[in-house]
């Protein structure tokens, strides 16, 4: 069977800089408040659930996914696919940590009989994928990816392959995270991963760690011919993706960005493109010293200098952990729609020890949308790359 094309027909997002695509896009050029964390403020889950009881039985990470998936499907319209050929690929890096901590405290203070009978369904990592498949009647593959910060990118790439291979005709794909508990923040702080200055400064000489955030990003993917025949508006196309492992260290990247280079090369091969075809790179760019240096080095080695226009939106969104890759995939789709590349907010001083990438700073940069790579590199040495192109 020849490889089938994958259309993006819907996008939804929940992020600290905006809930919903329009608010999110507007927020990508704004300065965020200082602090170790960037929570999603004033999130209301009620539009996405039938009643308050359902909300109480869903952890915050599931609520975020419900909101993002609902927005994406509303934009897409219900894909005209057989339910058994419609699936969900939705990941999380950590899962229902808020519920775990809340129920652990209840157990200590009030005893085991007061622990919620919904504890397990609320905390299990596959809860959002399962809930979305039940809500929208998608009866095909329903799977959960957990690869730390690469989760969202891997989920979208894996979902696209189910379409290119002929197994599925439509997929809801993305990731979600809401792990901003006191214990989790303390853990990241104590391992010196968080910014001590409370600022995310991707690729900046003063970068000192990431700012922790939360949220969800979801794309609706469809087989191209099916999408055009039903008259869907195609937002973008998934050309390919890749996944590799550094096999080096639990938190640090491989020296010189070797694993990242291999992943980007494989993604280009699957997309049937060469490095010179890539116009824009949405970088992982977490604002940590080692990771930003390794990624910049890898980009320079593979794409040359100055290479494609590079941006990291984490100066605004912070690091959404397992949700980061899917939120950034939504940002790429919106950049194509608006014909603007968002700036790398927080970057002010070039690092002379870092490769000279063409970093977009200050203001959004106008562009003629073309093939774009979105990178995600996670704890455990997980590397993920996704290649998107404008519709058509």
Which position among 16, 142, 168, 319 bears the catalytic label? Answer: 319
Asked if 184 and 94 count as a contact pair (C-beta separation under 8 A), the reply is yes
DSSP string, 194-230: B-SSS---TTBTT---BPEE-EEEEEEEEEHHHHHHT
In 128-169, beta strands by DSSP E: 142-143
Asked if 76 and 9 count as a contact pair (C-beta separation under 8 A), the reply is yes
Asked if 8 and 220 count as a contact pair (C-beta separation under 8 A), the reply is yes
Report the SS3 class of residue 19.
strand
**193 C-beta neighbours (distance < 10 Å), count:** 17
Rounded (10°) angle between helices 60-76 and 127-136: 40
Asked if 309 and 360 count as a contact pair (C-beta separation under 8 A), the reply is yes
Which position among 17, 154, 168, 284 bears the catalytic label? Answer: 284
Q: Does residue 154 carry a catalytic annotation?
A: no
Q: Does residue 284 carry a catalytic annotation?
A: yes
Asked if 314 and 291 count as a contact pair (C-beta separation under 8 A), the reply is no
Note the helical H segments in 304-338.
314-317, 324-338
How many whole angstroms separate alpha carbon 353 and alpha carbon 347?
15
How many whole angstroms separate alpha carbon 240 and alpha carbon 256?
24
Asked if 235 and 10 count as a contact pair (C-beta separation under 8 A), the reply is yes
How many whole angstroms separate alpha carbon 156 and alpha carbon 68?
14
Which position among 149, 168, 263, 385 bears the catalytic label? Answer: 149
**Residues tagged active-site:** 149, 284, 319
């Amino acid at each position: 069977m020849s490889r089938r094309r994958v259309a993006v027909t819907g996008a939804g997002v929940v992020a600290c800089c905006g809930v919903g695509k329009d608010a999110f896009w507007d927020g990508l050029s704004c300065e965020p408040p200082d602090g170790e964390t960037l929570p999603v403020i004033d999130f209301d889950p009620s539009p996405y659930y039938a009643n308050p009881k359902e909300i109480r039985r869903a952890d915050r990470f599931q609520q975020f996914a419900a909101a993002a998936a609902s927005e994406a499907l509303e934009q897409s319209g219900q894909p005209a696919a057989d339910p058994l050929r419609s699936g969900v690929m939705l990941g999380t890096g950590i899962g229902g940590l808020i519920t775990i901590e809340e129920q652990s405290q209840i157990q200590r203070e009030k005893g085991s009989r007061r622990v919620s009978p919904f504890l397990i369904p609320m905390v299990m990592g596959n809860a959002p994928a399962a809930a979305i498949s039940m809500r929208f009647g998608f009866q095909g593959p329903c799977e959960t990816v957990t690869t730390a910060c690469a989760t969202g990118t891997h989920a979208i790439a894996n979902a696209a392959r189910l379409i290119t291979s002929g197994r599925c005709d439509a997929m809801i794909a993305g990731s979600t995270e809401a792990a901003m508990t006191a214990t989790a923040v303390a853990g990241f702080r104590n391992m010196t991963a968080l910014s001590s200055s409370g600022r995310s400064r991707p690729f900046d000489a003063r970068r000192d760690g990431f700012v922790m955030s939360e949220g969800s990003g979801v794309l609706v993917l469809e087989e191209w011919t099916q999408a055009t025949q039903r008259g869907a508006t195609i937002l973008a196309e998934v050309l390919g993706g890749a996944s590799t492992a550094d096999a080096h260290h639990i938190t640090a990247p491989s020296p010189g960005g070797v694993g990242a280079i291999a992943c980007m090369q494989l993604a280009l091969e699957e997309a049937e493109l060469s490095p010179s075809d890539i116009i824009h790179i949405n970088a992982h760019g977490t604002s940590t010293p080692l990771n930003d240096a390794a990624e910049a080095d890898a980009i320079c080695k593979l794409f040359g200098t100055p290479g494609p226009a590079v941006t990291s939106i984490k100066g605004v969104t912070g690091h959404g952990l397992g949700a980061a890759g899917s939120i950034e995939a939504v940002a790429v789709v919106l950049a194509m729609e608006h014909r603007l590349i968002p700036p790398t907010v927080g970057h002010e001083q070039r690092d002379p020890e870092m490769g000279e990438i063409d970093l977009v700073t200050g203001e959004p940069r106008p562009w003629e949308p073309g093939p774009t790579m979105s990178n995600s590199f996670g704890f455990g040495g997980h590397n993920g790359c996704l290649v998107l192109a404008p519709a058509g």
